[in-house]
Amino acid sequence: MCLPREQLVGWLLLLALACLVGCSDGRPEEPASLSEAAVEPVSAQTGAELFAARCATCHGNPDLKRALPLASLSVLGPAQVMFAMTNGMMKTEAAGLSTAQMLEITTFIAGEREPYAPETAAFCKDADIDPTPRFSRWAVDDRSSGALPAGASSIDAASVKDLELAWAFGLPDVANARSQPVLTEDTLFIAAASGHLFALDRERGCIRWHQPLEVPPRTALTLGRVEGVSVLFFGDIGAYVNAVAAADGALLWRSDAHIAEHSLLTGTPVQHGNRLIVPVSLYEVGLAADPAYECCVSHGGVLALDAVSGERLWERHLTPPATVQGTTDAGTRAWGPSGVPVWSTPTVDPGRGVVYVGTGQNASLPATGFSDSVLALDLETGEVVWHFQAIAGDAYNMACDQNPPGPNCPKWRGPDHDIGAAVVLAQDGEGRDRLIVGQKSGDVYALDPDTQGARLWHQRVGAGSALGGIHWGLAVSDGVIYAPAADPPYPIPGYRPAPGLYALALQDGRRLWDTAVERGCDTNLFEYFGRAELYPDCPFFFGLSAPPLVVNDLVLAGALDGRMRAFSRADGAVLWQAETRRAFDTVNGVPAHGGSIDVAGVLAVDDMLYVQSGYGQFGELPGNALLAYRLVNRTLDANSPQETP
């Protein structure tokens, strides 16, 4: 039995944005009918009744699969739930609720619990931090290579079999372990989406400092340096960029990064000198599922902020302002152009004075030239120097996944094939710079940065889909591209998913080898989503979505079923794997369970490997585990977490 594509993909894609934005939203000047209904007084007073009235349409209907179920929501902390209703993505859905009613809903979802504070025993005796950076940004370096330099790690093909779990750390009150950490010589910095920032001893996992955050973080961390001080930069769910001192977590500044009504921060801000380059995405595509919503007006962009003060230096908007384009079949005004979010982390090219970003699709018509593209922006001004468009006419929003498509679905709709992976600046065998681009369609491109981004070659890996192909990143080292394919196993006629890891020659795109990943058990879409337990014996998703990491003669990659693998760079053979989809005892006393490995890549430094496990969006497996593996030929006293090496 097969579901229609619109209904099947809709179930899975709406899951992420529905939990962020709810089922509806209206334009401020002319509220939509569903939004008007949301403002009506609610007579129910208990948390369960309020949840049923306001939330269960998305979060409580087992047939829709459009949002995190209550079992996953219950993992979230009270502060995270409350913020979502007061200042976050659920603000529209909570319109008209009193503070007391929101507290009732929060208690119903998260239960009665005290605000998280680490146990005294979880802290290190020595809180001093060596600020020397070892792993300071997404995808390793300014070129976004995803490859560690020689000598950075002792983990290789000969020793990887000796990796064993050294310690586990429980991220408090979260269902998604999504914010990639950064490392110094002795400290690992990590953010929990519930609103906590930690500095951990990277050998033992004890806490050097803990800082509760006013607004939960959303992006990965960047470790920079400003006026001689080590600084952590990250974006939060309120679409603000934060700068905090690495020494103690104190807030230095917080800067508004909105460029449109529904701006969102997903890609990681990166530092170049005294500038911070900030990619801006959006969440309006989810609001378009409401037939009464006037779609769409928000668009993506890129900002440059002063790294010292957070002052905005320039901004680049990626569509013209939206205007009324007509009327939908539901009688609401249709707006456009819109969309073109920047999900990817920027790649800085100081030699050419530009920064490269990848973009997503338009959210409404007319389609524009910057969607599904690579843009080269001037570092000083933000002006577009050149752009390469991989797919033209990709206009898509969540209304397209309804069956039949909703009135806000563009008449000529696209496949939603973003370039969400960071663009890699690499060198070929003759020392020439090349840009390597991975797309959700499964396409890999090589572009020439010296000839306005001219396409040099193109290769396909996997089948590609809105959640398949190359999702969060690829890696390049020594003339070889390592491209992971997520390719969920949807039962769609004609769709042939091929999840796995692909090695391509940088010179011409030739496929050198490929290694398929397998589930190793039997399940199906209906059995999986109809389950009662949170962690089934056989997960539905098992492809490679998170970015890989090249370490010596290995490629390390985590999978959506929670498996962590080490592949041989020589031939793709799997030399080691670890199961992270299980419960863990933790050094900080917070119960932890691993799940899907998605979004954030893994880190390897010296003889240690760090993995985040758990991602509850898109129907994947939630979790809150930070895991540290160590080569067994060097061990420390695990019974004394406060001691220093």
pLDDT tens-digit readout, 139-186: 999 999 999 999 999 999 999 999 999 999 999 999 899 999 999 999
Dihedral (CA of 471, 293, 239, 560) sign: negative
Tokens of 579: 């199961």
Q: Kindly provide the residue ranges of all beta strands, DSSP E only, lying in 465-553, ordered along the sequence.
A: 475-477, 480-485, 500-505, 511-516, 549-551
What is the structure's pLDDT at 89?
59
Residue with tokens 């863990």: 584
Please name the residue ranges forming H helices in 159-308: 284-287
**Residue 517 near residue 502, CB atoms below 8 Å:** no
CA 628 to chain centroid: 21
Dihedral (CA of 525, 526, 528, 530) sign: positive
**Residue 416 near residue 339, CB atoms below 8 Å:** no
Taking every pair of C-alpha atoms in the chain, what is the biggest distance, in angstroms? 72
Pick from 334, 265, 259: nearest CA to 296:
334
* Side chain identity at residue 179, one-letter code: S
pLDDT digits (tens, 9 = 90+) for 232-291: 999 999 999 999 999 999 999 999 999 999 999 999 999 999 999 999 999 999 889 889
pTM of this structure: 0.88
**Residue 270 near residue 348, CB atoms below 8 Å:** yes
Residue 299 DSSP symbol:
B
- Return the number of other C-beta atoms located less than 10 Å from residue 416's C-beta: 24
- Phi, psi values for residue 259, rounded to 5°: -125, -5
Strand partners, 323: 336
Q: Domains, the chain, ranges and CATH? A: 5-74+78-110 (no CATH), 221-344+347-413 (2.40.128.630)
What is the structure's pLDDT at 530?
78
- Please state, in angstroms and as integers, the Cα–Cα distance from residue 431 to each residue in 39, 140, 427, 478, following that order: 61, 20, 5, 11
Tokens of 165: 């779990």
pLDDT digits (tens, 9 = 90+) for 68-103: 667 667 666 676 677 667 655 576 677 778 777 877
**Residue 350, SS3 per DSSP:** coil
CA distance 408 to 170: 41
pLDDT digits (tens, 9 = 90+) for 544-572: 999 999 999 999 999 999 999 999 999 99
Burial of 199 by CB count in 10 Å (0-12 exposed, 13-18 middle, 19+ buried)?
Answer: buried
pLDDT digits (tens, 9 = 90+) for 627-636: 999 999 755 5
The four Cα atoms 383, 352, 472, 297 give a dihedral, to 10 degrees, of: 0
CA distance 501 to 517: 8
**Residue 623 near residue 206, CB atoms below 8 Å:** no
Pick from 230, 236, 197, 200: nearest CA to 216:
236
What is the structure's pLDDT at 621?
93
What is the structure's pLDDT at 15?
31
What is the structure's pLDDT at 607?
97
Burial of 272 by CB count in 10 Å (0-12 exposed, 13-18 middle, 19+ buried)?
Answer: middle
CB neighbours of 332 closer than 8 A, spacing ≥ 6?
Answer: 32, 291, 292, 293, 294, 407, 408
Strand partners, 500: 485, 516
Ordered mean pLDDT values, 10 residues apiece, the chain (645 residues): 32 32 33 32 66 74 56 66 66 74 80 84 92 94 96 97 98 92 97 96 97 94 96 96 97 97 96 97 91 96 98 98 97 98 97 98 98 98 98 96 93 95 96 98 98 98 94 97 96 94 98 97 88 88 98 98 98 98 97 96 97 91 96 59 37
Residue 116 DSSP symbol:
P
Tokens of 464: 């590609």
